[in-house]
Structure 1
């Protein structure tokens, strides 16, 4: 997958450039004093390897770091975003100014290893429902400043994106319902505010589900329903509306739901409980 494949590609590229600019300001400050140990005109070759298996994601972030530090450093990628990696695989070969390579190293790896960690976890979840009529969605539980980057990683891993933020669809939850005086009032108000936006409503009981089924909504979120309650919700709905199961979802709970089959399962762990892939950059000549 490439960034260009996504409907939010332009926004993501803008975020990418800004987030890397900030990351470099944070890391470099007044300048990389340790890199000054190296002769200014010295050039080197380097490789990035992975020390563990996973899924590669974040090539364009890695490239942008070097573009902002020194665009003359050349990168020869041996792997693509979405590729399955084995321990000790070489991901990319670099050639250029030694100081530039060492200055850019940590920021470039931080983006690459973080996004690869998200994609690797997403791939595990995608494989868990392979062949099933069940879609895994991400959430807004993302690292601050990396929302769209992590959502790209989730797509690379094989899962799907939920809403991008608070602006592109309504998700009417418990507190919104309480503040509006009921589900019907909240839905009516949403239609008045933005009639072209998708509406999703969270329900906490089968009684609320029945109420929401009579309203003009696109998706109903089943909040912390157990397997039996989810099965009953699927039966009551009879395909009239899309159902999303949510609430502390993990691979074990999803395995139970594959026999019940709501339409979607949203998983906060995809972006909030990630472990970065163990990557390393080494000078080789």
Structure 2
């Protein structure tokens, strides 16, 4: 009996259908090709918003907040856990929304005690689901409990702003309209609140009164009219963009004649905004301000405005619901 000849060794992935098979035997059947799996969509990139402010400004706010809350000491915790009792904490999101302020949350614990360890499970700008673990913390119980409330206050406020902004940004998605914040902010927290607006997908074009020329109703009430205002501002600030508030079509016509750069349509209904856009014909940017909510934001966007400024983003915003659960 003749032995089978030694099979020929081929490269990886190459079928040896005939090599090394005994004479007279049919070739090994070719494998049935399987269709290539459909390509899976890549997850959307998380927008990264840079904190454009010094950490020293954040530290100052945190220290003031801690002094306000802790004062001369946490009497209860220091009495119950005077020794080296350790605590472990889990930060949990209790609703859907957008995370903002986690670096601030972390910084509160760092300033209270450098021995507290922090393990993030999410980053600013991430969409959160109810029940999602956001971070783990461990360290001395006295320090963890001392920092807990102040850290949560910052995080809940900023995540509430980012989540509200994201709702408005989604409402105008697919249009050219951008969501803007306003000057209606919490005293002392404006730079953090504007950061949270950007994390949520909004735009923060200005810091305050010193970096733009905005003519409000109050200016108009105290002046001699639009032409006079524009002349004075152009003389004092050559080349600087002028934004002017208008409350009716007559003021709009005056503003266009004066060639202002941005028209702030205050309390215009969507139908009247469409008329204004037709009259403007691209000669100025158009911003809507006033009675704009989630129920009508898209109607304004479809009317063709460039911007919608929303005071709800930072004024009377609902705090995001987080839980901080501790154990030994």
Question: In which range does the TM-score fall when normalised by the shorter chain?
Answer: over 0.9
1:12-52 superposed Cα distances (whole Å, 9 cap, x missing partner): x4432222111111101111112212133222221111111
Q: RMSD in angstroms over aligned alpha carbons?
A: 1.6
Q: Which has the higher contact order (CA 8 A, sep 6+)?
A: 1
Task: Describe the SS at the equivalent of 1:49.
Answer: strand
Q: Give ranges in structure 2 of 5+ residues lacking alignment.
A: 1-46
Which residue is equivalent to 2:43? Answer: none
1:156-192 superposed Cα distances (whole Å, 9 cap, x missing partner): 0111114221111111011112222111222222233
Contact map agreement 1:168 1:197 (CA 8 A) in 2: no
Is residue 76 of structure 2 the alignment partner of residue 30 of structure 1?
no
User: Pick from 132, 143, 147: which aligns with 1:104?
Assistant: 147
2:292 and 2:152 map into 1 onto residues whose CA distance is 29
Q: Relative to 1, partners in 2 of residues 1:106 and 1:221: Cα closer, same or farther, differing over 3 Å?
A: same
Which residue is equivalent to 2:284? Answer: 241
2:82 and 2:56 map into 1 onto residues whose CA distance is 34
Which structure's CA Rg is the greater one? 2
Q: Relative to 1, partners in 2 of residues 1:213 and 1:52: Cα closer, same or farther, differing over 3 Å?
A: same
User: Pick from 307, 312, 318: which aligns with 1:264?
Assistant: 307
1:196 and 1:64 map into 2 onto residues whose CA distance is 42
Which residue is equivalent to 1:57? Answer: 100
Contact map agreement 2:175 2:302 (CA 8 A) in 1: no
Which residue is equivalent to 2:30? Answer: none
Aligned residues: 281
Q: Relative to 1, partners in 2 of residues 1:107 and 1:2: Cα closer, same or farther, differing over 3 Å?
A: farther
Q: Relative to 1, partners in 2 of residues 1:189 and 1:21: Cα closer, same or farther, differing over 3 Å?
A: farther
Contact map agreement 1:245 1:266 (CA 8 A) in 2: yes
Task: Describe the SS at the equivalent of 2:58.
Answer: helix
TM-score (norm 1): 0.93
Which residue is equivalent to 2:122? Answer: 79
- Which has more helix, going by share of residues? 1
Which residue is equivalent to 1:137? Answer: 180
Which residue is equivalent to 1:70? Answer: 113
Q: Relative to 1, partners in 2 of residues 1:72 and 1:197: Cα closer, same or farther, differing over 3 Å?
A: farther
User: Pick from 244, 248, 255: which aligns with 1:201?
Assistant: 244
Contact map agreement 2:53 2:191 (CA 8 A) in 1: no
1:197 and 1:51 map into 2 onto residues whose CA distance is 46
Contact map agreement 1:139 1:162 (CA 8 A) in 2: no
1:212-241 superposed Cα distances (whole Å, 9 cap, x missing partner): 113243211011111221111100111111
1:129 and 1:203 map into 2 onto residues whose CA distance is 23
TM-score (norm 2): 0.81
Range 208-217 or range 270-279, more displaced? 208-217
